[in-house]
Structure 1
Amino acid sequence: MRLRGPLHAVFAALLLATFSIRTAMAEAPPVLDRIERTDFTVSGLSSGAAMAVQLGVAHSSRVRGIGIVSGPPYLCAQGFVTRATNDCLVLGRDRLRELFGPLFGLSLFSSGERDIDVDDLVSDTRKLARQRRIDPVDGLGSQQIWEYRGQDDRVVGAKASAAQHTYFRAFGAAPRRGEPRSTPHTMPTSDPAQGSCDTRDEDYVSGCDFDAAGELLRHLRRRPNARPNAGNGRWYVLKQADFLPVGPGDAQVRRRALGFTEEARVYIPQRCNSESCQVHVALHGCKQGMSDASYRAFTDGAGYVRWAGPLKLVLLFPRVGAIEPFERGLWDSVGNPMGCWDWWGYTTPGDLYGYATREAPQMRTIINMVDHLMRSH
C-alpha cells in the first residue's frame, strides 16, 4: 500500500527526521575554534571516580579540577585487585566471590572497612613524580577538588572517603566535601524520572533529590550561582580505537584488550561553537558502560548535560565494557567482568603502579581524545 496526501507527507517527514538524528549521532565533533587548548576538568562515579583521581594526579599540570562521587584515593589498590576489593572497598566475601570467583570467598578476604595508610600513598606519589611518571606534585595544591560519598554507600566506605581528603590536603589542596545525604552507591540526581534512590536502581543513576553533577561542576568551574538549562546542543561520537596509544597489532583487538567499547559520546552546547569553552571528562562507573541503556542513563541522565551550556563545557564521555576472565589469555584469570575503569592494574600487568601513571593505556587514550577536541582537526 502506498501512502498519499498529508499522511504521506507526515510519514516522509518522520523518516527524514529519524535519518537526520541517526546521521547526527554518527558525526565526529566539529572544530571548535575557541576551546581551551590545555586545561580541562574531570569527574566520575565509583571506578570512574578512581580514574578521575588518577587523571587529576598524573596530569596535574593540566587538570584544573576533579569531581569524585564514591571513589577511593590515588594508588589505593597498589596494583592488586585483591587490595582494591578488600582494602579500598566495603563489599564483603559473598559479593567478591560473585564478582571475581571462588578465590575471593576465602576467609583471608573479610568484609568491613580497613584503615588506609595515606602516608604511604603520599610517599608513593612523590616517588612517581621524582621518576617523572606523573606530573610534579606542585600542581595538586591549586586544583579544585569536590568529593561526595552517600551515607548509605555499601561499596566505598567512610574510611576511603576520609583518606581521599587527607591525601589531597597533604599536597596543599582544599577539597570540598558534598553535604552528607542518605544515598547508596549511585550517581544522585534531582530528577525523579531516574528511578528510586536505593540499590534497586541497577543503572546507578538515581532520583535522590540531589544534583551531584551540578554541585561538582559548579565547584570545579568556580561558578556557585550558575543555573542549569534544558540543554541546547548536539551529540557526536569518537571512535575510541583511533585514540589508542601507538602499538603493534590490530587496533580493534587492542581496543578490546584495554576494555574500550567502539564509541565514546561527546556533547557540545551550541554556545561552544562561538564562545570559549573547556573540556570536561565524565567517567561512568562499573557496569554502566556494559550496555547501551546503562551508558545512556549516565550520559543523558546523570545531570551533566543541563550544566554544559551555562558552564560552557564540552562533555566527553569515554566508555569501557567488560573483559571476561581468561578472555585475554590463561594469564588473566580475573579480567574485568564488571566493566570497571582500571584502578588496580588489569591493563598494565607486571607494573604495579603503571595503571596510575601518564603511560597508563586507558589514561593515554582519554588524553588523546581530550587533545583531539582541543586542537583544530
Structure 2
Amino acid sequence: MRIRRIIESLLAIALSFPLVAASAAGEDLPKLGADAKRVSISGLSSGAFMAVQYDVAFSASTIGVGVVAGGPYNCSYVNMGGITTCMQGSPLGAASYNAAIGFQTLGKIDPIAHVAKQKVYLFSGTSDSVVKQSVMDAVRDFYQMLKVPAASLIYVNTTDAGHAFISQDFGNGCNTNQAPYVNECSVGGALYDQPAAILGHIYGTLKPKANALSAQPIAFDQTPYAGPTSSMASTGYLYVPAACRGAGAKCAVHVVFHGCLQSAESVGDAVYAKLGYNEWADTNGIIVLYPQVNKNVVPVNPNGCWDWWGYSGLDFQTRSGTQIAAIHAMVKTLTSQ
C-alpha cells in the first residue's frame, strides 16, 4: 500500500507539470474581433528581416511595414557571402525581388502585387555598426521594384543612430550599439518618436498619445502556436487598449518583432512596455502583439534571433515557415470573434 501511495503521489506531481508550465507562460491569446483589414508589422534587426519576410509572405493581409536596421527578402540565400553580406556588405535588392517572384510562382507566398498597396517605413542610423546602411539601401531598392509609390515609402537614413529602435521615452545615447537596443535621438531639436513615425505612416494622422495607459501589457501562452523547431519562447506579450476589449471595437493589429538579444528574456520589458508603441496604440485603437524568440541550443540560435537564414527550416521565408505561420495564426486569433 505504501508503494502504491508513493506511485500515486509521483503520478500526481508529474501530471501537474503541464498545468504549471501553461500558467507560467501566461493566459490564452484572446479572440478580440480585431480588424483583419488593418494588420501591420515592424521590427528591428533580425525582427526587421522577419517583418520583411512576413510582409512578403502575407502581403494580401498586411497594409504596412516598418523596417529598422534589417535586410531585404531572402537575403542570405541570394547573395554571395550570405549572412555577412546581408549585415555588413552590399546585397542586391534585385536578387530579393527575383526570389519573391520565384516563391510566388511556386505558390508559397501571396501575389507580390499586393505589396504596392502598402505603406513602407525604413530606418537606418548612420552609426549602426551591426547592419550597414548599404543593406537597408537594398531594402529600399527591393520595395521600389515591388512598385511601392514614392509617397508610400519613407526612408529615414540621416540620423546619427546606432543599432536600435528609437524611443522618445527612454534608452541609450543615440549612437549606441548595445542592449537594450533602444536609443534616444534628437532630430530637429526634439526627441524622435519612431513608434509614432511608423504607426502614423501606416495608419494616417494619429490622435495624441496617452499620458496614462488604459491597460497594461499581458503575458500570453505562445506554445499552441510555436513548433518544436521554431525557437520561440513559451511566453509572448500583448497590449490591448481598454477600448479594444468591447464587442464590435474592430481595432487594428500591429506586430512588433524584437531584435537579436532583445527578447524579454534578455532585456525585460524594454520593448513590450517601454518603447512607446503602447501609448500611441492606446488612443488610436491599435492592439500591439509582441511575439518572442529566446536563445536556444536546438535549433542553434544563441542570440535569440528571428530566423532569416534558415535555422528553423528551408521554408522559413514563406507562408509555411514555422515562425511566420505561428505569427499569422496569432493574428488570426486576435481577429477572430
Q: What band does the TM-score fall into relative to the shorter chain?
A: 0.7 to 0.9
Q: State how far apart, in whole Å, the 2-side matches of 1:207 and 1:368 are.
A: 33
1:281-311 Cα deviation digits (max 9, x unpaired)? 001000011x536141111111111111222
What is the CA-CA distance between 1:261 and the residue it aligns to? 0.9
What is the CA-CA distance between 1:160 and the residue it aligns to? 1.0
Amino acid at match of 2:253: V
Q: State how far apart, in whole Å, the 2-side matches of 1:79 and 1:338 are.
A: 23
Tell me the SS of whatever aligns to 2:284: coil
User: Residue 258 of structure 2 corresponds to which residue in structure 1?
Assistant: 284
Q: State how far apart, in whole Å, the 2-side matches of 1:200 and 1:359 are.
A: 33
Q: State how far apart, in whole Å, the 1-side matches of 2:82 and 2:100 are.
A: 18
Amino acid at match of 2:59: S
Q: 1:38–1:62: 8 Å Cα contact kept in structure 2?
A: yes
What is the CA-CA distance between 1:179 and the residue it aligns to? 5.7
User: Residue 227 of structure 1 corresponds to which residue in structure 2?
Assistant: 208
Tell me the SS of whatever aligns to 2:220: strand
Structure 2 counterpart of 1:117, from 92, 96, 105 = 92
Q: 1:71–1:156: 8 Å Cα contact kept in structure 2?
A: yes
Amino acid at match of 2:336: R
1:205-237 Cα deviation digits (max 9, x unpaired)? 1222221111111111122x5321132223223
Q: 2:129–2:177: 8 Å Cα contact kept in structure 1?
A: no
What is the CA-CA distance between 1:344 and the residue it aligns to? 0.5
* TM-score, normalisation: structure 1: 0.76
Amino acid at match of 2:145: A
1:331-356 Cα deviation digits (max 9, x unpaired)? xxxx21111100000001xx3xx111
Q: How does 1:284-303 map to 2 (within 5 A)?
A: 284-289=258-263, 291-292=264-265, 294-303=267-276
* 1:258 is aligned to 2:230: yes
1:1-42 Cα deviation digits (max 9, x unpaired)? xxxxxxxxxxxxxxxxxxxxxx9x944454424x21354100
Amino acid at match of 2:308: W
User: Residue 160 of structure 1 corresponds to which residue in structure 2?
Assistant: 135
Q: 1:65–1:220: 8 Å Cα contact kept in structure 2?
A: yes
Amino acid at match of 1:87: T
Q: State how far apart, in whole Å, the 2-side matches of 1:211 and 1:38 are.
A: 25
Q: How does 1:72-111 map to 2 (within 5 A)?
A: 72-78=71-77, 83-84=82-83, 86-90=84-88
Q: 1:320–1:339: 8 Å Cα contact kept in structure 2?
A: yes
Q: Give the root-mean-square deviation of aligned CA atoms.
A: 2.2
Gaps of 5+ in 1: 1-22, 91-112, 246-253, 329-334
* 1:137 is aligned to 2:112: yes
Amino acid at match of 1:318: P
Amino acid at match of 1:312: G
What is the CA-CA distance between 1:154 and the residue it aligns to? 0.9
What is the CA-CA distance between 1:133 and the residue it aligns to? 0.4
- Structure 1 residues 40, 288: closer, same or farther in 2, change over 3 A? same
1:309-334 Cα deviation digits (max 9, x unpaired)? 2221101000001123xx45xxxxxx
| Structure 1 residue ranges (4+ consecutive) displaced by more than 6 angstroms after TM superposition | none
Q: 1:244–1:368: 8 Å Cα contact kept in structure 2?
A: no
Q: How does 1:1-377 map to 2 (within 5 A)?
A: 26-33=26-33, 35-78=34-77, 83-84=82-83, 86-90=84-88, 113=89, 115-174=90-149, 175-178=153-156, 180-191=158-169, 193-199=170-176, 201-208=178-185, 209-223=191-205, 225-230=206-211, 231-244=213-226, 254=228, 257-274=229-246, 275-289=249-263, 291-292=264-265, 294-324=267-297, 327-328=298-299, 335-348=300-313, 351=314, 354-376=315-337
Gaps of 5+ in 2: 1-22, 186-190
Q: State how far apart, in whole Å, the 2-side matches of 1:89 and 1:319 are.
A: 22
- Structure 1 residues 81, 260: closer, same or farther in 2, change over 3 A? farther
Amino acid at match of 2:258: H
- Structure 1 residues 160, 200: closer, same or farther in 2, change over 3 A? closer
Amino acid at match of 2:334: L
What is the CA-CA distance between 1:156 and the residue it aligns to? 1.2
* TM-score, normalisation: structure 2: 0.84
Amino acid at match of 2:85: D
- Structure 1 residues 202, 134: closer, same or farther in 2, change over 3 A? same
Q: State how far apart, in whole Å, the 1-side matches of 2:91 and 2:196 are.
A: 29
- Structure 1 residues 130, 271: closer, same or farther in 2, change over 3 A? same
What is the CA-CA distance between 1:238 and the residue it aligns to? 2.3
Q: 1:258–1:362: 8 Å Cα contact kept in structure 2?
A: yes
- Structure 1 residues 45, 81: closer, same or farther in 2, change over 3 A? farther
What is the CA-CA distance between 1:364 and the residue it aligns to? 0.6
1:166-223 Cα deviation digits (max 9, x unpaired)? 11111111321126211100111112x4233343642111222221111111111122
Tell me the SS of whatever aligns to 2:122: strand
Tell me the SS of whatever aligns to 2:217: strand
Q: State how far apart, in whole Å, the 1-side matches of 2:179 and 2:125 are.
A: 16
What is the CA-CA distance between 1:155 and the residue it aligns to? 1.2
Q: Which moved more, 1:266-275 or 1:174-183?
A: 174-183
What is the CA-CA distance between 1:82 and the residue it aligns to? 5.8
